[in-house]
Amino acid sequence: MKLLHEFREFAVKGNVVDLAVGVIIGAAFSKIVDSLVGDVVMPLVSRVVGRLDFSQKFWVLGDVPAGTAMTLDALKKAGVPVLAWGNFITVAVNFLILAFIIFLMVKQINRLRRHKAPPEAAAEPAPPPEDVLLLREIRDSLRAR
């Protein structure tokens, strides 16, 4: 029972819930980035550099059974080991775009926070707590004796 209670406390802590929300949003956001890369960035790169389709770039590392098409999907279905370096490039480009977008978002959020926060130099210092004031009075009265 105690273990179950400790697990429940752990699972409903704010940080764990925030992390779960972040993972879910991140998974949804990755679809947007995949679309951005596949539908916007790669066609522009292909237009500038030439027709590039990284998804079908691979090296065959084993024997290909007779009658198997030389496409990545067909080779994987046939159980042929392939080094799909084109998929790796696509994932790396996705990561770079995602990291750059998150950087821009965090930069913008920090900029908005700076503008909304009151300047610290203009703020007056908070008055000391009552116990500190009492201690100062006692100190001053002892000095006066």
The pLDDT of residue 38 is above 80: no
pLDDT of 80 above 70: yes
Per-residue pLDDT, 139:
92
The CA–CA distances, whole Å, from 92 to 16, 71, 96, 130 equal 28, 21, 6, 59
Q: CA–CA separation, 56 vs 46, rounded Å?
A: 14
Confidence grade of residue 140 (pLDDT, cut at 50, 70, 90):
very high
What pLDDT was estimated at residue 132?
87
**Domains observed in the chain:** 2-119 (1.10.1200)
CA distance 19 to 47: 39
Question: Average pLDDT in the 65-86 region?
Answer: 87
Name residue 3's amino acid.
L
Q: What does the pLDDT read at residue 18?
A: 81
pLDDT digits (tens, 9 = 90+) for 22-35: 889 888 888 887 78
The whole model's pTM is what? 0.50
Mean pLDDT score across all residues of the chain: 82
